């Protein structure tokens, strides 16, 4: 059974079929790019995979388990974490707390243990802090750990979102336009970080991106979407020379 298997997924908003008959298979250590013109339905696929929207058709199985009926938090428990196209940080909380919240599921102590500050509370909180700092260091954010998330500059907020997603120890990471709004050098740095993260956290990555430098640079395989469905898939070279893809981007 494939690691991630999406079959015939679909959802519509009013009369609009935002995703329609979308299918995808993904291996356990793949770094897969998902591209397509604006409004193709890429973000909606992420929302379907993570249970933010309930699919009206199709199914998703992940790691040997059907997840398409689960709620978002249960899908995260199953091992899928994500970032958002328009950043959704816990703005008024500290950088550290943003990551700590993602580590919630790795702690086990009960409310009573927490209130009474029993030993388990301290042990698990200390372990959480250690891991949170470790993740923040990967993104060069540990110096800002006590700052409010909203006080970070845009580029660092994007990084913090990835850091937070890694907090829940996912097996699959969904990144929605991680390089949006970044300049050339920031994008190159981000590419290195993504490759590093993939190895260090041994996580599969599905990545939506408009920046072709990034997508072509790090993805082994690319899936192209248009009008809610897959129109092509293959290696970066194959995609670059595909007539269908070029037509879709030129809007023909």
Partner 1 sequence: MEEIRKKHFRSFAINFLLLAALYAIFLASFKSGILNNYYQGLICYMLINIMLTVSLNLTTGFLGQLPLGHAGFMAVGAYASGIFTKTVLLPPAVSLALALAISSLMAFACGIAIGVPALRLKGDYLAIITLGFGEIIRNVILNLKITGGTSYRGIPQHAGFTSIFWITAACVYIISALISSRHGRAILSIREDEIAAEACGINTTFYKLFAFSLSAAAAGAAGALYASYQTVLTPASFTYNQSIEMTIMVVLGGMGSITGSIASAAVLTLLPAFLSDLAKYRMLIYSILLIVIMIFKPAGLLGSREFSMRRLIAKLRRREAN
Instruction: Taking each helix axis as running N to C, give the angle between helix 154-167 and helix 184-200, from 0 to 180 degrees, rounded to the nearest 10.
Output: 10
Residue in 5, 59, 85, 94 binding ligand ATP, rule: CB under 6 A: 85
Residue in 31, 44, 174, 205 binding ligand ATP, rule: CB under 6 A: 44
Q: Which range in 40-48, 54-62, 76-84, 143-151 contacts ligand ATP by CB under 6 A?
A: 40-48
**C-alpha–C-alpha distance, residues 219 and 206, integer Å:** 9
User: SS3 breakdown of the chain: % helix, strand, coil, rounded to 5?
Assistant: 45, 25, 35
DSSP 117: T
Q: Choose between 13 and 122: whose C-beta lies nearer to ligand ATP.
A: 13
Give the 3-state secondary structure of residue 5: strand
**Which residues contact partner 1 (rule: CB under 8 A)?**
50-52, 71-74, 76-77, 81-82, 84, 88-93, 97, 100-102, 104-105, 107, 109, 111, 114-117, 121-122, 124-126, 128, 164-165, 167-168
Q: Which pair of structure tokens corresponds to residue 27?
A: 């291996």
Classify the C-alpha dihedral 239-241-244-246 as positive or negative.
positive
**C-alpha–C-alpha distance, residues 221 and 235, integer Å:** 5
Q: Choose between 43 and 83: whose C-beta lies nearer to ligand ATP.
A: 43
- Rg value, the chain, Cα: 19
Q: Choose between 89 and 232: whose C-beta lies nearer to partner 1.
A: 89
Residue in 85, 94, 124, 169 binding Mg ion, rule: CB under 5 A: 85
> Helix H segments across 139-183?
154-167
Residue in 8, 27, 29, 39 binding ligand ATP, rule: CB under 6 A: 39
**C-alpha–C-alpha distance, residues 162 and 139, integer Å:** 9
Check binding of 18 to ligand ATP (CB under 6 A). yes
Check binding of 233 to ligand ATP (CB under 6 A). no
Q: Choose between 44 and 98: whose C-beta lies nearer to Mg ion.
A: 44
Q: Are strands 4-13 and 80-82 parallel, antiparallel or unpaired?
A: unpaired
Question: Is the CB of residue 214 less than 8 Å from the CB of residue 191?
Answer: yes
Check binding of 34 to ligand ATP (CB under 6 A). no
Q: Which pair of structure tokens corresponds to residue 16?
A: 């609009």
Check binding of 158 to ligand ATP (CB under 6 A). no
Question: Is the CB of residue 155 less than 8 Å from the CB of residue 182?
Answer: yes
Check binding of 10 to ligand ATP (CB under 6 A). no
Q: Which range in 20-28, 35-43, 185-193, 195-203 contacts ligand ATP by CB under 6 A?
A: 35-43
Q: Which range in 22-30, 79-87, 146-154, 155-163 contacts Mg ion by CB under 5 A?
A: 79-87
**C-alpha–C-alpha distance, residues 131 and 126, integer Å:** 9
Write out the residues near ligand ATP by the rule CB under 6 A: 13, 16, 18, 36, 38-44, 85
Write out the residues near Mg ion by the rule CB under 5 A: 43, 85
């Amino acid at each position: 059974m494939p690691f991630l298997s999406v079959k015939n997924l679909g959802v519509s908003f009013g009369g609009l079929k935002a995703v329609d008959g979308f299918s995808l298979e993904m291996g356990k250590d793949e770094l897969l790019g998902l591209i397509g013109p604006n409004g193709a339905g890429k973000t909606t696929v992420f929302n379907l995979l993570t249970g933010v929207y309930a699919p009206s058709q199709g199914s998703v199985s992940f790691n040997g388990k059907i997840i398409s009926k689960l709620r978002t938090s249960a899908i995260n428990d199953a091992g899928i974490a994500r970032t958002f196209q328009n950043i959704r940080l816990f703005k008024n909380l500290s950088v550290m707390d943003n990551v700590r919240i993602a580590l919630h599921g790795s702690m086990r102590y009960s409310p009573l243990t927490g209130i009474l500050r029993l030993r388990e509370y301290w042990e698990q909180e200390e372990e959480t802090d250690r891991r949170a700092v470790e993740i923040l260091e990967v993104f060069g954010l540990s110096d800002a750990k006590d700052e409010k998330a909203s006080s970070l500059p845009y580029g660092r907020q994007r990084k913090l979102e990835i850091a937070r997603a890694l907090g829940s120890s996912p097996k699959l990471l969904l990144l929605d336009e991680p390089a949006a709004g970044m300049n050339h050098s920031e994008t190159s740095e981000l590419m290195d970080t993504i490759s590093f993260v993939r190895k260090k956290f041994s996580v599969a990555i599905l990545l939506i991106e408009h920046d072709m430098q990034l997508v072509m640079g790090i993805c082994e395989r690319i899936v192209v979407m248009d009008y809610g469905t897959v129109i092509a898939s293959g290696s970066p070279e194959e995609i670059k020379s595909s007539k269908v893809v070029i037509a879709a981007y030129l809007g023909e």
